[in-house]
């Protein structure tokens, strides 16, 4: 049985219980939960998400045994079936997309700044088997990716995937422990795939988005039994990923994640570990498209600051973009300070 916690505060739906249709091999129940403290309901969401995983696996196993269905058939069916996202169920709206899937926006979104308040279903690029090629086949890897896919805008999800692919190759070229040690590799994946999760409505708290995202990642890792050192590494890498120069000097995971982010946004165009960076990027962008990531991410960050200016200290990346937003009223392109 899957239990979904719906963030109705973000979508403004009335408090109610929504029952999903029964669909073998699992029964889906959507629960709406209202709470003023986002950290509390985020923690509960993670707890429910993980606590029910074992029940789902057991149920799927029983179905396979009873119906004589092969494991491969069950897995193929599960990949094809996409359950309505929690926030989408709460607000009762569907997302609309252009034919190219380059810009997905909720129907009820009215702000000139795109800040999705719904979770997004995977686009065509994320619905095929290739999404499973890079995800570590471990509880940490699967849960981190599942969380990212359930709450991130498709463009931000694709960006996060590319950041991990770059980080993975940098770590391998450097013969880093984040390549040679499976546990450390899981932590690097988590930091990359969740580094922008603070832009999601579920984690739009009082602090800057980098800190909220770092806290969310640590909450997940705590549920999965990761030790304090590992959680600390991931927290630092996410919280500092918008800080240039300093994190490169810190080394370790922080430096790898920041360098990967710079590659994706064209800040770093030459790297000893990756010859011909432009060709290297083009290969991965052909698989996980950019989907206007600069505009989507910039708008998501600024939209949070418009709602709560305290999320953008003057010397922060969000603060610089917010200043540009105020100085250029009516501008509909990519934030000029991005």
Across the range 43-57, mean pLDDT stands at 38
Choose between 252 and 11: higher pLDDT.
252
Residue 132's pLDDT band, with cuts at 50, 70 and 90, is low
Domains and CATH numbers, the chain: 1-89 (no CATH), 108-338 (1.10.3210.10)
Count of other CB atoms within 10 angstroms of residue 23: 10
Residue 130's pLDDT band, with cuts at 50, 70 and 90, is low
Q: Is the pLDDT of residue 56 over 70?
A: no
Count of helix runs (H) and strand runs (E) in the chain: 16, 5
Angular region, 75: left φ>0, alpha ψ -120 to 50, beta rest: alpha
Which of 102, 92, 108 has its CA nearest to residue 20?
92
Task: Judge contact between 114 and 301, C-beta under 8 A.
Answer: no
Query: What is the Cα–Cα distance from 5 to 87, expressed in whole angstroms?
Result: 9
Instruction: Flag the least confident range among 87-91, 176-180, 266-270.
Output: 87-91
Percent of the chain having pLDDT more than 70?
61
Q: What is the pLDDT of residue 273?
A: 86
Q: What is the pLDDT of residue 181?
A: 97
Q: Is the pLDDT of residue 275 over 90?
A: no
DSSP 134-201: SS-SSHHHHHHHHHHHHHS-HHHHHHHHHHHHHHHHHHHHTT-HHHH-HHHHHHHHHHHHTTTGGGSG
Partner residues linked to 31 by β-bridges:
5
- Tell me the per-residue pLDDT of 19-31, one tens digit each, with 9 for 90 and over: 333 333 333 223 3
Report the predicted TM-score, pTM, of the whole model to 2 decimal places.
0.64
Q: Is the pLDDT of residue 168 over 80?
A: yes
Q: Is the pLDDT of residue 12 over 70?
A: no
The DSSP 8-state label assigned to residue 84 in this structure reads: P
Q: Is the pLDDT of residue 280 over 50?
A: yes
Q: Is the pLDDT of residue 232 over 50?
A: yes
């Amino acid at each position: 049985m899957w239990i979904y916690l719906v963030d109705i505060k973000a979508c403004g739906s009335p408090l109610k219980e929504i029952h999903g249709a029964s669909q073998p091999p699992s029964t889906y129940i959507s629960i709406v939960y209202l709470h003023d403290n986002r950290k509390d309901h985020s923690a509960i969401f993670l707890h429910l998400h993980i606590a029910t995983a074992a029940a789902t696996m057991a149920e799927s196993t029983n179905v396979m045994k009873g119906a004589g269905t092969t494991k491969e058939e069950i897995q193929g069916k599960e990949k094809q079936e996409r359950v309505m996202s929690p926030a989408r169920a709460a607000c009762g709206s569907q997302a609309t997309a252009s034919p190219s899937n380059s810009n997905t926006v909720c129907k009820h979104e009215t702000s000139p700044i795109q800040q999705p308040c719904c979770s997004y279903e995977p686009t065509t690029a994320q619905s095929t088997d290739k999404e499973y090629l890079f995800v570590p086949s471990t509880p940490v890897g699967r849960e981190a990716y599942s969380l990212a896919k359930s709450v991130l805008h498709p463009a931000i999800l694709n960006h996060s995937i590319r950041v991990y692919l770059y980080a993975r190759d940098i770590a391998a070229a450097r013969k880093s422990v984040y390549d040679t040690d499976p546990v450390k590799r899981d932590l690097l994946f988590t930091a990359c795939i969740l580094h922008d999760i603070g832009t999601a409505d579920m984690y739009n708290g009082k602090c800057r988005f980098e800190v909220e995202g770092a806290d969310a990642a640590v909450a997940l890792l705590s549920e999965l039994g990761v030790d304090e050192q590992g959680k600390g590494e991931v927290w630092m890498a996410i919280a500092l990923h918008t800080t240039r120069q300093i994190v490169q000097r810190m080394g370790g995971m922080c430096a790898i994640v920041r360098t990967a982010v710079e590659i994706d946004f064209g800040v770093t165009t030459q790297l000893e570990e990756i010859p011909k960076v432009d060709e290297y990027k083009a290969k991965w962008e052909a698989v996980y498209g950019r989907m206007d990531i600069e505009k989507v991410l910039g708008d998501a960050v600024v939209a949070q600051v418009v709602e709560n200016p305290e999320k953008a200290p003057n010397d922060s990346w969000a603060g610089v973009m917010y200043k540009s937003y105020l100085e250029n009223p009516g501008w509909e392109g990519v934030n000029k300070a991005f």
